[in-house]
Amino acid sequence: MLDTTRLGNYFRMSPFSFECNIPNYFQPLHLRVQSAFISLQNMSRYPLKYYQIPPLFAEPYIINGFRSIHQPWPYYWKSLFHKHNETINVWSHLLGILYMGYLLVYYYRKLNFYENPHSWPFAVSLCTAIIMFMCSAFAHLLHSKSESVHMTCFLVDFLGVSLHGFGSGFIQIYYSAPEWFYEKIEYQYITVLLLFGILACFLNCFAQYHFHRPYPPLKRFCQFFPCGLLWIYSITPLCIRLYSSNISSNPALMCHLAQIILFVIGATLFGLDLPQRLCPGALDFIGQGHHLFHLCIYFVTVCQMHGVYWDYEEFQSIIDQRRKPELIFCAGSMLFLVACDFVIVYMFRRKIHKNHHLD
C-alpha cells in the first residue's frame, strides 16, 4: 500500500466531502479563474505587436504584449511588476529561486551539509537548480533591451540549462540508482555527464549565434538534441529503478515518474509551439507553450528534489557505507562545468558583440 505519511509532510490535503454538490462547489472557482484569465489577457501595459519590433524578438504565434527595445534599464526592471508576454516566464522561475532557496535551508537542517559528506551531491544539485532558475528569470526579464543584450541573456540561460542538467544527473546517480548500477558506473557517469553538459551549452550557444530569423529546423535540432541527450542520460538511473520496482507503493518512485512525464509534456508543448499554434494571439499573456514549459520545469525540479530525498531516507544505510565523496569532487565538478560554460558563453558573446559593432 502507498505510504501517504511522508507525502502529507509536503502536501496539505484540503478537506472535501463527496456529499456536497460538486458542480456548485467548482462553479464559483471556475468563474473566478475565467474572470482572472480574461482580465489578464485584456490588459495592455505593453501593447506592442510582433510587427512593431525587430524580428529577433518576435516569437511564433505570439501577437501582442512585446516590450519596446532600447529603453533605459529601469524600464525592464519595472516590467517585472507589469503584464507582458514574458511575465509568466519570469515569475515562474523567480518562484523557483525562492522555493529552491527554501529547500536549501530545509535540507541543510535535515542532512547537515557541513558535517555529512554524503549530503554534498544534494547541496550541489540544489545550487545548480537555483542558478538555472536565476539565469532563466533574468534572461526573460532583460532580453528586450537590445539585440546584443537579447542574445547575451540567452547565452547565459543556456549555461543555466547545462548546469541544471548536470546537477540533476549528479544526485540521481548518487541517491536513486540501484547499488549495482552505481558501483559499476559511478565516476564514468559523472565524466560523461560533464561532457554532455558542455556539449549542450556549446551547441545551444552556437545555434543562438549562427542562425537568424526565420529560423531553420536545424536551429531547434542543435538546441533540442544535446539537451535531450543530457536529460535522457541524467534520468537513466531513474528509468532502471522504475523498470524494476513497484511504483505505486513508493512515493519517491511516483515523484520520479511524475518528473519524467512533466518534462516530456513541457518539452513537447515548447518544441511544437502548442497550444498557441492553434489560436495565435489568444494566449499571448498566459497559457502559451513557453509558459507551460517553465511551469513544468518548476514542478519537475520539485518532484526531483523530494523524490531523491526520500530515496536517501530509504537507502541511507547503504549510501553511508560508501566511500565518502570528496568536497573537491562534488564542488569541483560543478565549478569545472561553470568555468567551461563561461568560456563558451564569453567566446560567443565576443562574436556577437563584434558582429553588432560592425553592423
Q: Tell me, what's the pLDDT at 35?
A: 64
Q: Tell me, what's the pLDDT at 18?
A: 42
Region 16-33: mean pLDDT is 58
Q: Tell me, what's the pLDDT at 184?
A: 85
pLDDT over threshold 90, residue 26: no
Region 154-174: mean pLDDT is 95
State yes or no: 256 annotated in a binding site.
no
Q: What is the pLDDT of residues 118-144, one digit of tens each?
A: 999 999 999 999 999 999 999 999 999
pLDDT over threshold 80, residue 4: no
Percent of the chain with pLDDT over 70: 87
Mean pLDDT, rounded, of the chain: 87
Residue 224 contacts residue 166 (beta carbons within 8 Å): no
The residue among 7 and 104 whose pLDDT is bigger is 104
Region 295-303: mean pLDDT is 96
* Residues found in the chain: 359
Dihedral over alpha carbons 306, 308, 311, 317 (to 10 degrees) = -120
Region 90-106: mean pLDDT is 95
Q: Tell me, what's the pLDDT at 15?
A: 47
State yes or no: 93 annotated in a binding site.
no
User: Which H or E run includes 107?
Assistant: helix 87-111
Which domains does the chain show, CATH number per domain?
A: 47-358 (1.20.1070)
pLDDT over threshold 70, residue 69: yes
pLDDT band with cut points at 50, 70 and 90 for residue 92 = very high
pLDDT band with cut points at 50, 70 and 90 for residue 160 = very high
State yes or no: 150 annotated in a binding site.
no
Torsion over CA: 322, 9, 136, 268 (sign): positive
Which three cell numbers mark 173? 546517480
Decide: helix, strand or coil at residue 210: helix
Angle of the 147-171 helix axis to the 289-319 helix axis, nearest 10? 30
Residue 103 contacts residue 305 (beta carbons within 8 Å): yes
DSSP string, 222-279: HHHHHHHHHHHHHTHHHHHHHHTS-GGG-HHHHHHHHHHHHHHHHHHHHHTTTTGGGS
Which three cell numbers mark 342? 563561461
DSSP string, 23-87: HHHHHHHHHHHHHHHHHHHH--SS-B-GGGS-GGG--TT--S-BPPSS--HHHHHHGGGS-STTH
Which amino acid makes up residue 296? C
Which three cell numbers mark 119? 549530503
Q: What is the pLDDT of residues 183-222, one digit of tens each?
A: 888 778 999 999 999 999 999 999 999 888 888 889 989 9
DSSP string, 275-336: TGGGSTTTTTTTT-HHHHHHHHHHHHHHHHHHHHHHHHHHHHHHHTTSPPPPHHHHHHHHHH
Which three cell numbers mark 319? 549510501
Region 286-296: mean pLDDT is 96
Q: Tell me, what's the pLDDT at 10?
A: 47
Q: Tell me, what's the pLDDT at 323?
A: 85
Q: Which residue has the cell 516590450?
A: 67
As a whole number of angstroms, the distance between CA 48 and CA 63 comes to 9
pLDDT band with cut points at 50, 70 and 90 for residue 320 = confident
pLDDT over threshold 50, residue 298: yes
Q: What are phi and psi of 49, to 5 degrees?
A: -100, 170
Of 103, 93, 167, nearest to 134 (Cα)?
A: 93
Region 65-93: mean pLDDT is 93
Region 285-293: mean pLDDT is 95
Q: Tell me, what's the pLDDT at 307?
A: 95
**Of the listed ranges 9-13, 85-89, 181-185, the one predicted with least confidence:** 9-13
pLDDT band with cut points at 50, 70 and 90 for residue 58 = very high
Q: Tell me, what's the pLDDT at 261?
A: 97
Torsion over CA: 129, 266, 260, 313 (sign): positive
Q: Tell me, what's the pLDDT at 330?
A: 85
As a whole number of angstroms, the distance between CA 358 and CA 151 comes to 16
Q: Tell me, what's the pLDDT at 44?
A: 47
Region 9-14: mean pLDDT is 48
